[in-house]
Amino acid sequence: MNYLRIAFLPAVLIAPALADEGLWLFNQPPRTILRERHHFEASGPWLEHLQKASVRFGSGGGSGSFVSEDGLLISNHHVGADAIQKLSTPERNYVRDGFHARTLGGELRCMDLELNVLESIEDVTARVNAAVPGGADPAAAFAARRQVIAGIEKESLDRTGLRSDVVTLWQGGAYHLYRYKQFTDVRLVFAPEQQIAFFGGDPDNFEFPRHDLDICLFRVYENGRPATVPHFLRFASAGPREGELVFVSGHPGRTSRLLTLAELGHLRDQALPFRLQTLKRLEVLLGNWSARDEENARRARRAFHGAQNGRKALEGRLEGLLGPELLAAKHRAETDLRAALAGRPDRAEALAAYDRIAAATKRLAAQAVRHSLWEGALAFRCESFNLARTLLRAGDERPKPNGERLREFSDAGRKTLELRLFSAKPIHTDLEILTLADSLTFLAGQLGVEDPLVRRVLAGQSPRRRAAALIASTNVRDVPFRKALYRGGAGAVSAAGDPMIELARLVDSEARGLRAVAEEQQEILHQAHAVLARVRNAVLGTEGYPDATSTLRLSFGVVRGYEEHGRPVPAFTTLGTLFERARAMKHRSPYDLPDAWVKRQTRLRPDTPLNFVSTCDIIGGNSGSPVVNRAGEFVGVIFDGNLQSLPWDYVFEDRQGRATAVHAAAILETLDRIYRARDLVRELEHGRRPR
């Protein structure tokens, strides 16, 4: 396994890595590696085109890409499921039954979906660091850094009109300003039935072979008309071949490859087990509730599948950390780096940085549970509380200078905040009571009912009765009510006397205090990691790539199968093996097929590739990312990784780990022969709507 590559140790200490590893910045691409290893020249125009054809889903995470000059974009069904579910009703369940708009007029506007397209990147490291006084304590340093970042973002927004986010890279080693074009008029065009989008369900999740048509299509609009986009990916209907070089352009969420041994130990021993506990609890809760009634299942489907997917992903990551090899390799990497620093003037600074990271990690661990419950709102898992706290904090934060606000209330993020706050999405009171009651029970179990704040939260009632009373009496689910309080400010929020808002107020002091401590410790971590990044780069002579940050990254690899339990796993599945799998499982759920697929099976070419795997480096958040060939043509869409890829959060290896994608040929074949969506097929083939 290629552990030492992650540590960026000098070549004299380790053999050169051969794996196609890396979540590379578009402004710092791996040109030399691609040229020397794959004889590919990543030109500026090629990179710019791929960058501006790539799309980030602003809420819920995920990726996509434009595939037509008329604003058509493709992503995964599970990435778009949140938007699709909000458009569904008990009578029209688009998640379960699918959707196809055969005309522009039939395309459904999503309620609160924001899409972002990266326009430019600017390195602002020097400006950010210059604003932090030397020798400042962590609180003062964090305040200074927050102020300068907010100022940079606001200045950029005012000058360009683009969403502007300062992104922390290398855990504090660099700061880059990302500017995005935002689309908020997004309309659903096509989605298949969930049965085929998630064929095999949870049993096959993170496995291979897979047989999923995990796609959906949206269109972005401007001024009421389909947007004209200059950068889009043309479909290569033949798709990729075995051994072919391919690229992934997407928005991986978070990786932890540059964390120290102390930080990984905390994840292994505390953070991941706690998160797994909460996810398993939620999965059981929502699974049982969904089993009682079809409408319950529809309402909870998105959250239930999210809990299932998260639980399985974290189990895989924890498995990687519990294995002796990963942390042993990290220990060797740190030991070798310390040895390589012998005699260097920055050795003492680097060793002190390791100590500061260990101390800050310990401080964060000591308050982690309370932070998750109060500031992370695990004690109040429901949309009503989220809305109430946003209204409460907006009233408190907006009168402050931009640079002194909590980050989510900065001027640069206002459009996104208001889009979510004023969404007319359906909020179901029975589901709200269910999840709030359970989280209040969890709160009492974690901190004890005699905890003073827990007692005040429960107000002398059982968790179930308290949750029911709060949900029944709050008005925050009413959009005009939210708008009035938001515009009226803190005075209007206080005068409303809304019980859920007052609950948020009750715990806000505790939550803010925990957040302040976390922010101060994060500042310590950023400063210490900046030292280590500088030292590593000085020793190695290169910067490599930073951990993922939900920003656009480029990865590359080859289409290749692997071996598991002594047997070869082919790189491709086909439409034919899909039907074989369904028959072998006797068409039992989750291996049953939609009626349209059963009726029209004979129209399909069984040898059409359906899913394929590659050695491309991905992580959560890459779902929906386009897979492109050397020509920059669309050949597939990422939707998963296999079980062996789950430890990629901490270390990359491609002996068995694989990224899983839907093949372009299957998309065209099924749109044409199953769904009779010939206009969409022509648009994908020609890159524009039929005129």
* Residues 568, 572, 576, 578, Cα dihedral to 10°: 90
3-state secondary structure (DSSP) of residue 387: helix
- pLDDT value of residue 537: 82
| Consecutive 10-residue averages of pLDDT for the chain (691 residues) | 30 46 96 96 98 89 96 98 96 97 97 97 97 93 97 98 96 95 98 98 96 98 98 96 98 95 97 98 98 96 95 95 92 91 92 97 98 98 98 98 96 96 97 98 98 98 98 98 98 98 98 98 96 86 84 98 97 98 97 98 98 97 98 98 96 96 98 98 97 83
Helix (H) or strand (E) holding 66: strand 63-66
Q: What are φ and ψ of residue 398, in 5° steps?
A: -65, -30
Separation of CA 37 from chain center: 30
Say how far apart CA 623 and CA 668 lie, in whole Å. 20
- pLDDT value of residue 1: 30
Strand partners, 663: 636
What domains can you pick out in the chain, each with its CATH number?
A: 24-114+184-257+546-686 (2.40.10.120), 261-536 (no CATH)
Separation of CA 23 from chain center: 14
**Which letter does DSSP use for residue 132 in this model?**
S
CA distances from 4 to 298, 332, 569, 614 (A): 46, 8, 27, 22
3-state secondary structure (DSSP) of residue 258: coil
The amino acid occupying position 647 is: P
Residue 130 CB burial class (10 angstroms; 0-12, 13-18, ≥19): exposed
- pLDDT value of residue 420: 95
**Which letter does DSSP use for residue 67 in this model?**
-
Three-point CA angle 334, 337, 338, nearest 5°: 85
Closest CA to 617 of 175, 255, 267, 170: 255
String of DSSP letters for 528-554: HHHHHHHHHHHHHS----PPPBSS-EE
Closest CA to 143 of 133, 135, 158: 133
CA distances from 395 to 383, 412, 415, 552 (A): 19, 17, 16, 33
Task: Give the residue ranges of DSSP H helices in 341-458.
Answer: 347-366, 368-374, 383-397, 414-421, 429-447, 452-458
